[in-house]
C-alpha cells in the first residue's frame, strides 16, 4: 500500500513562507508529478513528505497513519536525488545493499535482492566498481537500484534526470515509467520539465509560489486548464495569449490558442503577419509570426513547410480550441 495524504501542510523558513497551505491526495500506485517553475516549492514539498524537512503546520499521513513527526528513516519511503547521492566509499553492490543492511536482512536475502535489482537495471557488470568510476546514467541507475531493493511504500524522485544529456534522459524516462508499470508502487516525481510531466504522470500537480494551481491527468490539464498559468505552463511550445480587441470579440479579457491549434496558410486566414523565424524540426515546423495589432504568435504545423523569414502568412485558430480567460486570469 502507498497512499499519501497531505492536509493543510505549511512550510516557512524563518519569516519566509514558502508553502502557505497544501491539501493533496496521492492514491496507492499512482504516478504523481509535481511541476512548476524554479523556486515554487516542489523540492520543499517532496522533502517534507520524505521527512527530511520539518513541516510548519498541517499533517502528512501515509496509508492513513499520521507520520508528520516520524523521522525519515521510519517512513518506509525511498528517494532518488538529483545529485544521485551515492556513497562514494562503497562499491555499487554495497550502495544497493545499504538499505537492506540497515533493515537488518540476512546476508542471503540481501545478495538475492541486490542481484535481482542489478538484473533489472543492467548493472551486473559494475557491481564491484565505485560510484566515481561510473557514468552519469549508470550512477542514476545505481541510485534507483538502491531505492527499489527495499520495496518501499512509495518512491520519491527529485529531478532525477536533470543532470543527464537529452538522449539519455528520454531513455531513463522510459525506464522509470516501465519500472512503475512493473512494480505498481506509488511514485512522486518532481520536475520542472513539462514534457517529463506529460509523458510520465497519471496525475500532475501544478505548483506556483507554494500553491497548487491545478491537479489532474495530463490530458485533462492540457484540454481544460483552470487558469492562464496552467494553460501557459502545460504544452510545448507555450500557448499563445492574445488580449485587447481580438479577445473582446470572444467576450474574454484574454484568449489563448496553442501553437498546434493554429492553421497556417499562404493565401488567406484570420490574421495576416510576417514570419520572424521558422524552425524546421523535420516532423514539425515552428513558425514565429508577427501580427499587427495582435503580437507575436507561434504556430506549429506538421511536416516540412517551406516558409522562411520575411514571408507573409495568414493564421487562423482551429474552431473550438480557443481558451478564454477573465480579467483575473481564470478560465471562463
Partner 1 sequence: MARAVNNKRRAVVTLIAWAVGIAIFFPILYTVLTSFKTEAEAVASPPSFLFFDWTLENYAEVQERSNYFLHFLNSVVISLGSTVLGLIIAVPAAWSMAFFPKKRTKDILMWMLSTKMLPPVGVLVPIYLLFRDASLLDTRTGLVIVLTMINLPIIVWMIFTYFKEIPGEILEAARMDGANLWDEVVYVLTPMAIPGIASTLLLNIILAWNEAFWTLNLTAAKAAPLTAFIASYSSPEGLFYAKLSAASTMAIAPILILGWFSQKQLVRGLTFGAVK
Ligand X SMILES: Nc1ncnc2c1ncn2[C@@H]1O[C@H](COP(=O)(O)OP(=O)(O)OP(=O)(O)O)[C@@H](O)[C@H]1O
3-state secondary structure 270-317: CEEEEEEEEEECCCEEEEEEEECCCEEEEEEEECCCCCCCCCEEEEEE
Binding flag, residue 208, Mg ion (CB under 5 A): no
Q: Which of 1, 73, 248, 277 binds partner 1 (CB under 8 A)?
A: 73
Strand order in the sheet with 254-257: 240-243, 254-257, 323-325
Per CB under 6 A, the list member of 43, 95, 208, 298 interacting with ligand X is 43
Binding flag, residue 16, partner 1 (CB under 8 A): no
Residue 328 interacting entry, from Mg ion, partner 1, ligand X, none, C-beta within 5 to 8 Å by type: none
Please report whether residue 33 would count as binding partner 1 according to CB under 8 A. no
Exactly one of 66, 69, 102, 128 binds partner 1 (CB under 8 A); that residue is 102
Residue 288 grid coordinates: 514565429
User: In this structure, are residues 274 and 309 in contact, taking their beta carbons and an 8 Å threshold?
Assistant: no
Q: Give the cell for residue 130.
A: 565505485
Q: Report how far residue 207's alpha carbon sits from residue 212's, in angstroms, rounded to the nearest whole number.
A: 5
Region near ligand X per CB under 6 A, out of 10-18, 86-94, 274-282, 308-316: 10-18
**Span interacting with partner 1, options 85-93, 199-207, 214-222, 273-281, rule CB under 8 A:** 85-93
Say which entry of partner 1, Mg ion, ligand X, none residue 24 contacts (CB below 5 to 8 A, set by partner kind).
none
Q: With beta carbons less than 8 A apart as the criterion, state whether 92 and 127 touch.
A: yes
Rounded CA separation 61/67 (Å) = 5
Q: Are 273 and 291 in contact (CB under 8 A)?
A: yes
Residue 43 contacts Mg ion per CB under 5 A: yes
Q: State the binding partner of 40 from partner 1, Mg ion, ligand X, none, CB within 5 to 8 A by kind.
A: ligand X
Q: CB-based contacts of 17: which residues, under 8 Å, 6+ apart?
A: 10, 11, 210
Report if residue 18 touches ligand X, rule: CB under 6 A: yes
295-302: strand order across its sheet: 262-265, 312-317, 271-280, 284-291, 295-302
Give whichever of 81 and 288 is closer to ligand X, judged by the CB atom: 81
DSSP 330: B
Backbone angles phi, psi at 13, to 5 degrees: -100, 105
Total binding residues toward Mg ion, as defined by CB under 5 A? 1
Residue in the block written with cell 510576417: 274
Q: Return the residue of 37, 39, 103, 107 that touches partner 1, per CB under 8 A.
A: 103
81 lies in the site for partner 1, by CB under 8 A: yes
192 binds, among Mg ion, ligand X, partner 1, none (CB under 5 to 8 A by kind): ligand X
Pick 191 or 214: Cβ nearer Mg ion: 191
Shortest distance, position 36 Cβ to ligand X, whole Å: 6
Q: How far is the CB of 15 from ligand X (least distance, A)?
A: 10
Q: Which of 39, 57, 293, 303 binds ligand X (CB under 6 A)?
A: 39
Instruction: Indicate which single residue of 20, 98, 226, 260 sits in contact with partner 1 (rule: CB under 8 A).
Output: 98
Nearer to ligand X, 205 or 301 (CB): 205
| DSSP string of 241-277, one letter each residue | EEETHHHHTTTSSEEEE-GGGEEEESS--SEEEEEEE
Is residue 44 part of the contact set for Mg ion (CB under 5 A)? Answer: no
The closest of 245, 279, 282 to 259, measured between CA atoms, is 279
Site for ligand X in 120-139 (CB under 6 A): none
Binding-site ranges for ligand X (CB under 6 A): 13, 16, 18, 36, 38-44, 192
Binding site for partner 1 (CB under 8 A): 50-52, 71-74, 77-79, 81, 83, 85-89, 98-99, 102-103, 146, 150
Give the binding site for Mg ion (CB under 5 A). Answer: 43
Amino acid at each position: 500500500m502507498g497512499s499519501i495524504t497531505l492536509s493543510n501542510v505549511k512550510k516557512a523558513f524563518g519569516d519566509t513562507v514558502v508553502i502557505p497551505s497544501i491539501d493533496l491526495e496521492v492514491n496507492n500506485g499512482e504516478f504523481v508529478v509535481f511541476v512548476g517553475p524554479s523556486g515554487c516549492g516542489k523540492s520543499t514539498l517532496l522533502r517534507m513528505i520524505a521527512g527530511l524537512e520539518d513541516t510548519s503546520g498541517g499533517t502528512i499521513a501515509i496509508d492513513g497513519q499520521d507520520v508528520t513527526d516520524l523521522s525519515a528513516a521510519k517512513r518506509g519511503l525511498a528517494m532518488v536525488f538529483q545529485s544521485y547521492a551515492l556513497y562514494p566509499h562503497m562499491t555499487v553492490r554495497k550502495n544497493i545493499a545499504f538499505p537492506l543492511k540497515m533493515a537488518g536482512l540476512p546476508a542471503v536475502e540481501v545478495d538475492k535482492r541486490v542481484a535481482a535489482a542489478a538484473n533489472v537495471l543492467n548493472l551486473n557488470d559494475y557491481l564491484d566498481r565505485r560510484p566515481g568510476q561510473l557514468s552519469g546514467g549508470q550512477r542514476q541507475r545505481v541510485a534507483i537500484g538502491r531505492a527499489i531493493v527495499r520495496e518501499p511504500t512509495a518512491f520519491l524522485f527529485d529531478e532525477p534526470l536533470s543532470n543527464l544529456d537529452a538522449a539519455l534522459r528520454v531513455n531513463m524516462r522510459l525506464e522509470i515509467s516501465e519500472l512503475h508499470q512493473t512494480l505498481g508502487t506509488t511514485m512522486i516525481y518532481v520536475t520542472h520539465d513539462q514534457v517529463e510531466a506529460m509523458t510520465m504522470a497519471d496525475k500532475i500537480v501544478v505548483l506556483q509560489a507554494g500553491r497548487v494551481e491545478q491537479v489532474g491527468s495530463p490530458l485533462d490539464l492540457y484540454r481544460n486548464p483552470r487558469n492562464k498559468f496552467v494553460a501557459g505552463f502545460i504544452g510545448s511550445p507555450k500557448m499563445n495569449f492574445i488580449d485587447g480587441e481580438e479577445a473582446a470579440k470572444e467576450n474574454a479579457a484574454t484568449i489563448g490558442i496553442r501553437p498546434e491549434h493554429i492553421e497556417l496558410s499562404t493565401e488567406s486566414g484570420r490574421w495576416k503577419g510576417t514570419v520572424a523565424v521558422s524552425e524546421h524540426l523535420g516532423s514539425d515546423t515552428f513558425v514565429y509570426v508577427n501580427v499587427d495589432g495582435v503580437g507575436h504568435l507561434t504556430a506549429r504545423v506538421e511536416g516540412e513547410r517551406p516558409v522562411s523569414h520575411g514571408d507573409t502568412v495568414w493564421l487562423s485558430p482551429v474552431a473550438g480550441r480557443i481558451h478564454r480567460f477573465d480579467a483575473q486570469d481564470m478560465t471562463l
